[in-house]
Structure 1
C-alpha cells in the first residue's frame, strides 16, 4: 500500500472545488462536482455544508460530517496541481 502525504490544510473554493495543502507543501485543487451525482455526496450541494470542510485531525482526509469525507489518497491522485490553475483558483 502506497503512503500518500497527509493533508495540512483545506479551503473550499467556488465551483465546489477544494484547495488542498499537503504536508509536503504540495498544493492541489480537487473538483468535487462529479461526486455530487452520488447519493452520499449530494448534501454538499448545500453551500453552507460544503464550506464547512475541515482537515481530519490526523491529516488522513477531509471531512464534512460523520457520513461525508474524502481520503488523502483520493485528493492526492485526482487533485490537479494548483500551479496550473493559479490564475483561476478563486473564480467560479
Structure 2
C-alpha cells in the first residue's frame, strides 16, 4: 500500500471503512497495533522536538541577556559583512 493510498484512507472515513472491510479481524487488530505504535512514536518525537525548541529559546534568552549585560549587539559579534558586487560576472577568457 502506498503512502498516497494511506493518505486517501486517512482523509476520508468512508474510504477507510471500505478498506477496513477487506481485512480479516486478525489483520485489523494487527493494523490497529501498528497504528497505535506509530502514534506513540510520533507523540514522542513531537515531545522531543518541543523540548528542543524550548531549550533553544532558553539558551537564546540567556545569550541575549548576557549580551545586554556586556553592552554588546549582534553587529558587534558579526562585524561588517563584505559587500557584494552588482552587475554581470566577468566574461569567460576563452571568448565563447
Give the structure-2-normalised TM-score: 0.23
Structure with greater helix share of residues: 2
Structure with greater strand share of residues: 1
Give the structure-1-normalised TM-score: 0.24
Q: Which has the higher contact order (CA 8 A, sep 6+)?
A: 1
